[in-house]
Structure 1
Amino acid sequence: MWNKGGPKGDPIPYKLPELLAAQEAPVFICEGEKDADNLNAWGLIATTNSGGAGNWHQALDQWFAGRTVYVLADNDEPGRKHAERVAYHLGGKAAQTKVIDLPGLPPKGDVTDWIAAGGKPCELLTLCHSLPDARSITQALPSTVLERPSAKDQRPSPSPIHQSKAANYGHRNQAARRRWDFDEPQDHVVAKRWIMKGLLARGETSGWIAPPKAGKSALVGDLCVAVAAGQNWRGKRSKERCAVVYFALERGDLVRRRLIATMRRDGITTLPIRLVAGNPDFATPHGITAIINEINEASTHFGLSVGLIVFDTYAKLIAANGGDEDKASDQAALLAKISEVNLEVDCHVALIGHTGKDQSKGPRGSNAFGGNYDFEVRIKGEDHRTASIVEANDAPEGVLTTFTMEGFELGRDEDGDPIDIGIVARDAPAQADAQEAGLAQRKLSPSQRIAFEALCEAINEAGELQPGNPRIPAGQRAVNEDLWRQYAYKRSISNATQDAKLKAFTRAVEALLASHHVSTWDGFYWVNRGQS
């Protein structure tokens, strides 16, 4: 129990009940109860230790395991040492720890003084989000790691991307490093910091890959609107409403019209989305700093942390920075710079790219691209398209969503003609079919689930209407068994012999028909509507 001036009994953090009640919120550690109370009045979760500076007790560490922690340093030597001591203690336990030096503090000033001088919650959150992890500040890296490469180690005639890497191997790179020590028991679970649960997490990178005109930019734009609105998206649950910064390296006007159309279609007037048309400069240290400043300024402008950054397209990005997408070294150099930026701003980075001539082989150019993100979303199909997660590091692979495009009229031009734009339709066809069928895929066996998803994909990509067949519902597209089986085999319904594959498929079809998930007539199969 906490009495005025400190707890009675074993050391505990100030305002412990509030700390425990908000497990997903970041925690602010101050030097004193008054400071914590002032931040709590803003609706933030703030605490302190008893005894003031220099009295952090190891027993307090346990309460911050797996949390994001911001340590606010008082503006004097004891305050700074205390903040660094707290950060050091929590370095192996908290998910992330940052030491915050508030700007403009008088000597011996603290967060209460900063608030009295006009400091605002959004300014504090933006400052906290933009600074590097404290572990890279409090624990110096070995000098051998920080030395710049010698001349003999440099490649001859490096591209601008490589020149940037050599020229900028200094202060910001050191500050952006994140470190964890494992010389103490790791007895807590460090969860991903989800923005859209099961899809987008802070600190990760994804690739959205498709042929030209396949809807990849439209699908990512639709996702941006959901992130900025704090809405669920195609079965994925929103965990954090975030601002979005979208770098459009091509067709910026088209991206703008599409975002406006999606917002109007959904009845949304304003959103924290910043669209930046042009070529971001990753080839110089100044350019990288400008990108980081753009993102941080967007956070300040919206009063909301940026959580999603989009680069559209990756091919234009590497070309604009003097690289060649066919060269693994150029790919790796640019991707390292993107990672450097993300270490600074701590967002999810979505890279939109093209497939090569053989779409099954993934992204165009060197395979270094595909090896540097956490998962890839590959889109295929024409009228009815399927987006599938492939090449995922630690996430389930399979169909993410199915979708179609629909027209939306933005208005009329000076001649009175409609201004039409194609956007992602609100409902995903296969997912809608599944929901109307009362599908609970967790109740299906693995082979049944693979067969069902294979049917959805086959219908979306190659299904045809059967107007002359009265037993098939009007407007219902269907596929024959041979095509369904091909899609099921492609999804590896069994890894054994051809005979075993056929048996697994046949049993799955029989189970799906018996459970009324699927219906058939005259050799054609479709997903049921309105049956359970």
Structure 2
Amino acid sequence: MARPSDIDFSKWMEPAARLLRGEPNRVLSKNKTLRWGRGGSFSVDIEKGTWFDHEEGIGGGVLDFLKREKGIDGREAVEWLNRELGASIYVEQQKRRANGSGRSHSVHDHDDDGLDSSVPPWDERDVPAAAAQPFLSTKPEITAVYDYTDLAGELLYQVCRKEWIDNAKRRKTFSQRRPSPDEKGVWFWGLDAGEYMRRAPGQDWLKYDKDRWKEWGCKEKRRLEEPISHTLYRLPEIREAIAAGETIYLCEGEKDVETLVRMGLAATTNSGGAKHWDPELHAELLRGADVVIVPDHDKAGRERVPKVAGALRGIAARVRVCDLSAIWPDIGEKEDVTDWIEKGGGTRERLEAYVADLPSWEPPPYNSRFGAITWGDIFKTGPAYEWLVKGIVPMREAVLVYGAPQTGKSFWTQDLAAHVARGVDFFGHRVRRAGVVYCAFEGGKGFRKRQQAYALHHKLRPEDSIDMVVLTRRADLFSGDEDVEALIAEILHWGSVFSEPLGLIVLDTWSAATPGANENASEDVSRVRARVMRIVEACQCSVLVVHHKPAGGGRPRGHGSLTGDFETTIDVDWATREEGKHAIQLKDADGRPLRKAVLTKQREGETGPVCTFVLRQVETGRDADGDPVTSCVVTAPAGAVEDTSARIADTKGPRISEDGRWHLKPNLETAFRGLAEALKRKGRAAPQEIRAPANVECVTLSEWRDEYERLAQGEDEDPDKLKERVKKARDRAAEKLLLAGFIGKDGEWIWRTSKRVFGIDPPETRKRSEPIAEAIAEAIDDLLDVPFA
């Protein structure tokens, strides 16, 4: 090989500077000069391959630069170039065996794959000086040439390996070229028929391109009528080896073929990679051969095996597959047989011993992509339908949970998910314990408070092993696949660290995960639905999607295909009973509104009620002002369910019961309950300066608002917006309740009158006269009938 004095090192100046100093200053750099530093004090002349430090007034070439930056020179500096920038040159000549032609097969390859990179480039060996190649530059250079011939050994075409340096990284590509039939030393790049062009006589021909013809100022055009088919590498030697009964190793590239040939084995490949493997042509060339396929250790290699092996089955005498990971457990992704020989101690003896015990390749059983069931299958005992939550959530299917605002659908879903993570029965339904990833796309910041409330309510501790992770940043499942694939990757990561298999993914909510989508457009709904199913298939678990429905509506918001696309749908709503044309709210013994979950669609189970539940308030801590921080948990109703006539709809009619308690509309009742709670917690004797009845307890408007706020908080509502909404609602409620005689007020002080309210106060013992009650009710109803929001 060439000595250092014979090598042009200038082309390595730029990549070495980029690697050691980072990217240059874009503002100060020019086409031929790169500058580093805020003032551009360090520069590199790209054409000359030199550097100069303008502050110190010194400069030089790349070896001087390495001595200055790394403190290395001579052999050590060149080895650094070999190791860090791939600047090694290796040349090898082999005599072809085919037909005893003695034709030389040249491989001008300074790739570090399959060769000894520890040999310095000036080491004196018996190598022809003309074979030495220059170091790589930023422009592609041919670093290896592989001849493909016909059976007679006549050259058909060559595969050229091209390499270059891009941002200090070594790049490579492969191109085919065939010799011109009438011009020696001239090549046609490509194997296709069609038109080719070139700039001037004596130059190579390139595939014709209209734009480049004009851009390059090409002068000549020529048409080739016959394409050349990709064939097998070292074909004459392979046919000779087959006739001699030798085993043929079928590799993925020419480099691996040359590695095995140097070990004395018969090896081949096809040019152009897996996409140019011809099942008919190439398989026929290997007819009667004992073939061992040696795939690279990567996805492409694994996918190539059934294609190649399937084509050879029945044509080759025998087909086996050499899985290198079986003899080299430490093999890395994309490594191959050459890497095994270099790094894993591979030898011919070890390879042949392993191959000798390999069974013949058999195609795997056909896996129907669309779930085919043959006639014979129906008489076999098939797998039972699997449930994650029996009767509610099937395994590995998509479920839609929908509900009107404030009905508790997210609280209910979170409770179900936590029960799955704990493996605890859910409202009498058996649960299979599994890992859960809850994607809180809507209100993710407040989800920690919900989890804390759940833990306090169920007396859970930090050390309890519960496989549940909450993701609080939104993913976009509508615009493209990037977020979907990233979400799948993260879900699979958490699934890998769970002690239980991943079983449930929750996407809360549909609208938060689909920014820009039109819920009423079937194509938008179908696109999102397809990505939901992509998550189901990739993660092999159930996916539960939370969605909205209009207040008072009976179906989910958006296009009708949305419910049709889910195997299971669950409606979460208020629990009511019908009274004529009115919907009457139901409450438990503690006066809490009842909610219900109902299966409206179930592919393999029964539809109908799942459970009735209430939301219980739990204090999770104190804020900076010392005020309680609360959230809600799902619990079973307390005691017997109590019917009320507090209407969800805005209707008129009697609002006093026979036992003497008044019925308020839902929003007014919530406000009044907040006042009752405030009086219970902070009520005190009325100050002397206000006009209040004797022996009543009072609270301030702000104390009333604080209690009302905890009761009125919606799912994931912004705290600042909640305060503003509650303040306005409290002022409107105070005005109505004051006019109707339910409260008294003086300035900032509020107190209750003697009027008793259904669901808040116990019933009176005496019975009121119905005519009087109805008359009073109609009068107060007129006062309270102002719409309240």
Structure 1 length-normalised TM: 0.48
Q: Is the strand fraction higher in 1 or 2?
A: 2
Larger Rg: 2
Structure 2 length-normalised TM: 0.33
| Larger RCO (CA under 8 A, 6+ residues apart) | 1
Q: Is the helix fraction higher in 1 or 2?
A: 1
